[in-house]
Structures are given as C-alpha cells and as structure tokens.
Amino acid sequence: MKVVFLGTNGWYSSETGHTTCILLDTTESYVILDAGSGIYKITEHIRDNKPIFLFLSHFHFDHICGLHILNKFNFDKGLVICCYKGGRDILNTVVRQPYTLPFERLSYRVMINELDEGYHNSFPFKVECRKLVHATDCLGYRFEFGTKVITFCTDTGYCNSILKLSKNADLLMAECALASGQKSVVWPHLNPEEAAEIAKRSNVKRLALVHFDAVIYNTMDKRRLAEKRAKEIFESVVIANDGMVLEI
C-alpha cells in the first residue's frame, strides 16, 4: 500500500506545503485523512474505481478547508465522510451556500458516518478511533489493512489515546506542530521529542512527522532539525513533505 502526503502544514499553506491531507492507497479502497488544502491534488492519485473514505480528525479550518472544492471531483462510487458524533451538523453548516455547493448538489453521493470511540468493522478494513487532547474535540485513528497497521494522530498533546492507537503500528503519522522543547497547555500539540517518545513507547516500526506549524516551521531546514531531534530518541523517523510517498 502507498501513503501519499498531499499536505503537511498546520494552520495555513505556505512555501513549505499545503495544510494536512494524506491519502492511503490500499488494495480495496482509498482512505483520505483530513481535507486540508492539499486535497486538490488527490485526483492525480485516485485512478482506480475503489470506494473512497474521508476521515476527519476535527473541524479546525486548516483540516477541512478543502471541502469547498468537493465539486471539483467526480467520485463514481461516492464519498463516505467519517467524523466524531455531532459532526454531521457541523458539515452541513459549512458545506452549503453561500460558502460552497451543498452535498446534495454534487455530482456524486456523499454519506456522513458519525463514529463513536472504539472499534468499527463496517468498513473494508478495521478502524479504531479515540479522542485526543486538543483545544477542541479531535479524533485519532488506527487502521488495520490486513497485516498492516497505520496510525494517524494530529492536533494533540501527549496522551494515553495516542499511545494506545500507535501500539505496534507499522507507521505512526504524528503531528509535530511545536519546535524542540516547546509545550502548550492551552492549545496542545506535540514537539519532535514527544512524538519520538510516543513512537518508542508504542513500539512502532516507523514514525512520520507531519502537520508542521507554518509559523514555527517556515523553512524545510527547520523540519530537518526536528527530524534530527526526534532521531536522538527514535531512529526510524522521516519528516513528511508535500509529494512524499511511502510504501508500507
């Protein structure tokens, strides 16, 4: 399976990248993680007629701003949007006139699936979701595609949920919004050392740092410094950048 990084910035798009959007190209389906501005590139990678699922972590605009271009796409099998409980009302508030076309006017069917915390077996894959620690409700996800486990946790501070979701994962995609040594209680995020410590404690095979704050990480050199700091704790680390593809 392929992991395609379409957007790796947090907060806003800049020269370092678009806001968060990641595509998992699996044997049976496409899984999109968040709908940041990088989603516009997704048609370059969605070529097969497979079911498409979009999992939203939360509703801060840098993670959903790409929803306003859903009418750009033509998904023959429709689109299933997954989010936390109460997300349907939020989506129907944002995805409508005068902001953009409402779901019912798109050329394909959109279904919204509100998820409780825990395990879900109603997809072509297994998924577990847990609440993370952020300034608003936010979900982290653990996907099982056959024998491969992929974990996605963005916009969170250090918490038990991310440790549980990451346990023995083949790939942990963890946010790295803060610089080395930084902490924020009011607006929880991770720094590179914390992300690496989580990977080490959870026994993951590989860690990809993503969701770099566009102000703090305003150059790629600063991302590379975060990678260096993380590798002092956990060796198997890569820094995500727009266009990067990982084979899992």
Helix boundaries (H) for the chain: 61-64, 87-94, 160-166, 192-202, 220-231
Instruction: Assign domain 2-247 one CATH number from 3.90.79.10, 3.60.15.10, 3.40.640.10, 3.90.550.10.
Output: 3.60.15.10
The answer to whether the predicted template modeling score (pTM) of the entire model surpasses 0.95 is yes
Q: Which tens digits make up the pLDDT trace of 84-125?
A: 999 999 999 999 999 999 999 999 999 999 999 999 999 999
What are 185-216's pLDDT values in tens digits? 899 999 999 999 999 999 999 999 999 999 99
Phi and psi for 91 in degrees, rounded to 5? Answer: -60, -45
Average pLDDT over residues 207-231: 98
Q: Taking the domains of the chain in order of start, what are their residue ranges?
A: 2-247
Mean pLDDT of the chain: 97
Residue range 13-33, pLDDT digits in tens: 999 999 999 999 999 999 999
Longest dimension (CA), the chain: 51
